[in-house]
Structure 1
Amino acid sequence: MGVTTADPGPISLPAHPDGWLGPDGRVPWRDAPLTVLLLHGFTGSPSSLRPVADQLHARGYGVEAPLLAGHGTRLEDLMPVRRSDWTAQVAQWCEQLGKRGPLVLGGLSLGALLALQEGLRQGGPSGRLRGLLLFAPPIGVRDPRRFLAPLLVRLVTTLPKQTDWFADPDAAAGMWSYDRFPAACSMELLRLMGEVRRQCRALARPVLPLPTLLVGSRRDPVVSATGLEWLAQRLDPTISRLHWLDRSGHVLTLDLQWPELADLSLAALASWS
């Protein structure tokens, strides 16, 4: 992903105790401060979420962006990780943060997929979960190597990454990430994708009666547009929306249009607060 001085560590930003900042001043919390749990992408780190996290925090929201298992250290630590390790982490974080007050769950790429699965598990806006922020969830992917994955995992331990994840090449400097994909763990991601698609198909329409902001890019070299459109059809259109960016690559939270993404997120949070 290029040279970076970004910190791969977790992000923890507390909510303003008196409320969130609207256009006319500070708006008191409905019951308790709202926290946004943001999950990073595969082989990445919370650094990819930093600009959006800072914008949400500046408006008063609490933001937590922890490290998924196997990330932020060395590639070898990701090789033995299974999808159940991530889903267990997400469930635990939601339970812990939900004890503080209302929660919005979101993420980028793998993080968005995990957020969606947790939303499906919870089944609706019951309890503390107020909504989902899904940025480029890989419901479908473009990489043709996915068809060879069962064979590749027997032949190699790592795979090269694509080099065109960003429309803005300078944006890559803000992201700490591994330089290669671990083959076995990449297979786990593909299995997770299939698992989430099956869970979506198994539920009645709209499959997810939970407010959701789904954002994709027409120029994303990783995630297929048809996959996002398929998912959008399985959301409740009265409380959810799909928004397309047109000048960003895959890492929406760092690329050219991240300010627009932050504004979309803030508008959604205002309606859920």
Structure 2
Amino acid sequence: MDTGKTAPFELGRGDDACLLLHGFTGSPWEMLPLGEALAAQGLYVKAPRLPGHGTTPEALLEVNHRDWEQAAAEALHSLTGFRRVFVAGLSMGALLALGLAAQFPEVVRGLVLIAPAARFKGPKMALLKGLRHTGLLEWVKPWVPKDSTDLSDPVALAEAPILKAFPTARLNDLWTLQESAQVLAPRVRCPTLVAVAEQDHVVDPEGGPWLAHQLTGAASVRVLSLQEGYHIIPRDRGGPRLALEVGAFLHALRGRNESLDTPGLDEASSAL
């Protein structure tokens, strides 16, 4: 894997900041086009590389979901000197982002969940999850090979840094984060944008609206459904539309009187 491509990045200057969190087995590369678009709008953007990611498959043997949660929290708290802080995450990164918004409502002023990994797609993942508590999962299939990633754009696919395999044990961490997100969702207070790709082959697109309906305490919730592109939305055909929508969403929040942000079920429901 080209670690130059997968390196963390910081872009832009401004009074407001946005933290970008990549997905499982991914890297900040996934989030770069969105980061560049937000930086061009006057936001400071930070995209850390989560522990165990963006290097070798073996590196994921040494970490778990607690390491990812801690790294995300540390990155968030490094931004507390900014006027407003927003968080956006892709797939597993969306679950981490939701956790930050729920646990640190005084810090996170806006939340963007991109193709959130609320529910996985396909019978293979269901079969593996069925082995979760049997003790057989890692014995039957210790490694899951990867030879591609879920992108429809052939140029982006050719450029994508792809981890060749990951430890099956880390699926337990993904399922734990899913369960945690479901518990924490009602505690989110900030305005939230949920973006899904209808042609996603990794997560169930219906999981996005389902998760949005769990955000019962959010000031507002909107679901954006993209017809073009697959799971890695920021790098795919739906990426430009996503960048426009996220930019407009955060622009509105940056000009908002925060004293008027009162969480309410009616507003959240009507925005869906």
Amino acid of the structure 2 residue aligned with 1:73: T
Which blocks of at least 5 consecutive residues in structure 2 are unaligned? Answer: 255-272
Encode CA deviations 1:101-149: one digit per residue, 9 max, x unaligned: 3210111111111001111222x4x3x3211111001111114233324
> How big is each residue's C-alpha offset from its partner over 1:161-201, in whole Å with a ceiling of 9 and x where there is no partner?
3746112222123432312232111221122112222333x
Q: Does 1:141 align with 2:120?
A: yes
What is the CA deviation profile of residues 5-26 of structure 1, one whole-angstrom value per residue up to 9, with x for unaligned ones?
961101111314xxxxxxxxxx
Aligned partners of 2:3 and 2:21: how far apart in 1? 20
Answer yes or no: is 1:116 the counterpart of 2:98: yes
Which residue of the partner structure matches residue 179 of structure 2? 194
Q: Output the CA distance in 2 between the equivalents of 1:115 and 1:231.
A: 13
CA deviations over 1:208-247 (Å, ceiling 9, x no partner): 3211111001100111123212112123586220000011
Alignment of 1:9-20 (within 5 A): 9-16=7-14
C-alpha distance in structure 2 between counterparts of 1:92 and 1:213, whole Å? 23
Identity over aligned residues, as a percent?
33
Aligned to 1:210: 190
* Structure 1 equivalent of residue 153 of structure 2: 168
Q: Select the structure with the greater relative contact order (CA < 8 A; seq sep ≥ 6).
A: 1
1: CA distance between counterparts of 2:82 and 2:28? Answer: 22
Are positions 1:242 and 2:227 aligned together?
no
Instruction: State how far apart, in whole Å, the 2-side matches of 1:6 and 1:168 are.
Output: 21
Contact 2:101-2:189 within 8 A present in 1 as well: no
| Cα deviation, residue 265, structure 1 | 0.7
Q: Which stretch has the larger CA shift, 174-183 or 7-16?
A: 174-183
What secondary structure, in the 3-state scheme, does the structure 1 residue paired with 2:121 have? Answer: coil
Q: Which runs of 4+ in 1 moved over 4 A?
A: 3-6
Residue 52 of structure 2 is aligned to residue 70 of structure 1: yes
Counterpart of 2:68 in structure 1 is 86
Return closer, same or farther for 1:160/1:54 CA change in 2, 3 Å cut-off.
same
In the superposition, relative to structure 1, how do residues 166 and 6 fare at CA in structure 2: closer, same or farther (>3 Å)? farther
Q: CA deviation at 1:62?
A: 0.7
1:90, distance to aligned residue in structure 2 (A):
1.2
Structure 1: gaps (5+ residues): 17-32
1:102 aligned onto 2:47: no
> In structure 1, what is the Cα distance between the partners aligned to 2:160 and 2:41?
23
Amino acid at match of 1:156: K
- 1:253 partner SS: helix
Instruction: Answer yes or no: is the 8 Å Cα contact 1:48–1:176 preserved in 2.
Output: no
TM-score, length basis structure 2: 0.84
- Inter-partner Cα distance in structure 2 for 1:36 and 1:134: 13
Alignment match, 1:24: none
User: SS state of the match for residue 93, structure 1?
Assistant: helix
**How big is the shift at 1:96?**
1.5
Structure 2 counterpart of 1:23: none
Number of residue pairs matched by the alignment:
247
User: In structure 1, what is the equivalent of residue 203 of structure 2?
Assistant: 223
2-side partners of 1:88 and 1:4: how far apart? 25
